[in-house]
A and B are shown apart, each in its own frame.
Chain A
Amino acid sequence: MTDDKPMNSPYLLQMKEIYKSFGPVTVSAGVTLEVKPGEIHALLGENGAGKSVLMSILCGILKPDSGSIHYKGAPLNIGSPREAIRHGIGMVHQHFMLVPNLTVAENYVLGQGTPLRLINDMKAVHQRITALSDRYGLDVRPDAVIEDLSVGEQQRVEILKVLFHGTDLLILDEPTAVLTPQETDRLLDLMRDLVADGKTVIFISHKLDEVMRVSDQISVMRDFKVVHTTAVTDTNPRELARLMVGRDVLMELPRGSANPGQVVLSVDGLSCRNDLGLPALKGVSFSVKAGEIVGIAGVSGNGQTELSLAISGLLPIDAGKVSLEGKDITGLSPAEINQLSFAHVPEDRHKMGVLLPFTLAENAILHRYNQSPFAKKGLLQRGVTASFARDLIKRFRVKTPDEEEFLANLSGGNQQKLVVARELARDPNFILVSQLTRGIDIGAIEFILQEMLKQRDAGRAILLISTELEELFTVCDRILVMFHGEILGEVPADRSRLEEVGLMMAGQRSAPAAAMEPALT
């Protein structure tokens, strides 16, 4: 282990020939990763390529079967995440590791020191958080309770937590998944600032443009190995994409023009409140026609969550009206809405969309567990369910040994494919999809988005709520922008309008048409 010359190594971190498997399943097949101090090192790859496992090994959450890790020139043998923190290695996870009913400061000191000391030190903790927050412009208040924060805010809390623990090596797992373009810019700037401060960043991502913009070095992972490491100056997005998936990625999905028909969903003056009783939607009106995809853009926490819940009957409506195919569905229960020609891919698949300890087959019948042919005389029809699940798995190319696998064992992309497959199998005329591609890999994104276009061309009405502008501009026909519970404006999904959407997401109303017209004429 110690045959390497210590201190002379040019690398901050060297992971060599890391192997890890769970029974017959290999999740790390001889990974070698070398990171120099003071660089932003991107780890690029599809979900299920082994990025998260590799980082879990580095953070002491998992133990490798073989291989060596050198950190700061010395062999590193970490047994727990807490030791990793002590060594100055900190990770911001894709799924936040925060206790929802505690404040920011309480989350930060969780597991650190004795309770009595903490009470005394809490003031200092608050000051330190405020100082760090101001320094990096993160807008994190130490006394805010986590569950009151939007997803985007929670992420900033997570990033600050790692900084709070005095980390030298930051690992960011898909950090931009929930951010607006402006927030993403800010995060990328922040990463630059951190490096300028002498810290080192490992940036896990599948977004080529961000990786190209911010990284110094890029390691591409595929099939549980690093297949290529290169300086950012020596490569281009096309090459990286090819390395990631082993084939060329269509950055622009081919699609014909939309052919909108009758109005399928119409929302009129919809108002409702969020969990805390605060107004979340303030008179939202729009409609979705058959054969078109309407996008809802916006920074998370501007009412999109409540909009999707209100439409699907999961949140009480204060005022306004929702109609589906001409039928008033305002105030119907979720069970009643499920009987209609309606499908819903929820925004947080772990919270709502799936049951992790259930098998794929059991997940496949979530809405139809008491309907024929999946149930007869109150008994589940396991044979029918299994063949139905197999059919979904095959059609959506879900990577799994079989339909009896537990859903928890699948990667995020494959879980989402199953959810989309299940929802589309309900043969709905209206499809509500929320944060469809959050935290999943390019291959799965492309597949699912193409499926959405197919549904559109088959005459389905689709409402696509997303914080990913790239996704919206790729498939939508028109885009509505939500801000503070209102729809601020609508633009056709033309990439030249990207800047305009970004401004509206920040709360600036689009330049009034009247003001623009003179310039045009």
Chain B
Amino acid sequence: MSAKNRIASGVAGYVDDRTGAAKWLKKNLTKVFPDHWSFMLGEIALYSFIILLLSGTFLTFWFDPSQREVIYNGSYAPLSHVTMSASYASTLHISFDVRGGLLMRQIHHWAALIFMAAIVAHLLRVFFTGAFRKPREFNWLIGVGLVTLGIVEGFLGYSLPDDLLSGTGIRIAEAILQAIPVVGSYLSFFAFGGAFPGHVFIPRIYTVHVLLLPGIFLALITIHLMLVWYQKHTQYPGPGRTEQNVVGYPLMPVYMAKAGGFFFIVFGVTAFLGGVASINPIWLYGPYTPGQISAGSQPDWYMGWLDGLVRMSPPIETHAFGHTISWNILLPGLILPGILFTGMALYPFIESWITGDKREHHLLDRPRNVPNRTALGAMSLTFMMISLINGGNDIIATHFHLTINGIMWFTRIGLIVVPPIAFVITKRICLSLQRADRELVLHGKETGRLVMLPHGEFVEVHEPISAQKAWTLTQHLQPEALMVEGADENGVRNPAGLKGKIRARISKANAEQVAAPTLTEFKELEGGHH
């Protein structure tokens, strides 16, 4: 035993004798994780969160969350002697008079955008591969909670500097708050401590932004990861991969190195963006005053769809019992997002109700093999994209020489018409891809080599695919429709009534599949056929 090893084992033994950590570590450090780039999207979100905590802490050293009026006296000349809130002045101070302050501000903001983008990308991966199925429904719910809180946290964060753009955003948030029937104006008075903008809002959201929400984030992320640990990571189907195993590499040393390295890469990319691209240039926006507004005021991208919905909403109001109900704000600002996010949260339970599938799933779906879910995802994504486009309608109008009214009408109609079209097209594409897979398994892949047979016929030579590939293409479950529609073969009516009928109808549509080739089919074709 060399001296180095002796010292190492001595230290390890000393620690183990006092903590008993060896057994736990041995078990957990060798835990196996599957490898795929799409499994690293959530990691990007996690690392951006760490970057947010670090850069945010730096910013708190100088930020003054107060709406107290001050006269600016710092180094940015175009604003000298302008009256502004202390929070705006301190953000200017961080930007221009604190060493590295502007870089940190920009890193913090870019990290927030990357955080939200990575969360959305991760959510899409989980949705389209069916990773939310039993036993992972709770983790899906936590994920929905995280994306919702992420939107709120981001909004509060960019509202803090109290610049002209963010003040406009708070004004819209106030309008949405006020649109809640009956209690709206009371809620608004409660939040702002009186009339807008008041003097308490910035300090209040500061506490929520730096204390409450990060705390909740930490707790939820911890549970999220503990559940991944406990339930083990899902894996893509392939030879040797089953519902009972996980094929991949151990945490120590492979993933320790990879994850550690990836953290620094994420930090690097964020710092790169913070260094080369300006973000939220609050000194250009100017301080917030309710009397001012800028053309092209936009929220950050993760709120853009919400702004787009509000912008396209028709001006409907009703007056009842001395109250005004502003449907034009209530509908796009609260009801529609409420329906969308509730639907998203409940989706795992809805799908399991439709399919009647109560089994555990650790093997992921290839999106094409679940055409209905994939089509539904594409439909929701289209809905969001169209809303998002309208969120930037003024910028699109000026940069592409279009009319803002034209864009609004395009998105108003498109919001209703295009998503169903996207559903149908996606489903067709999925079924076609299934058909292509079937062809590939049964007939092999096209080689492009044409051969003339003795009797003059031309055929293209097909090369059989590997057994591993054939297995990957044929392993998926073939869902069957629930046999509850109408009456069974004995004429017994479905006892579940209307609910059962609807369920049967959806489940029938859900089960629409191109049959995966069976072994018999494969063997039948094998004998000498091209």
Chains A and B are bound partners: no
A→B interface (CB under 8 Å): none
B→A interface (CB under 8 Å): none
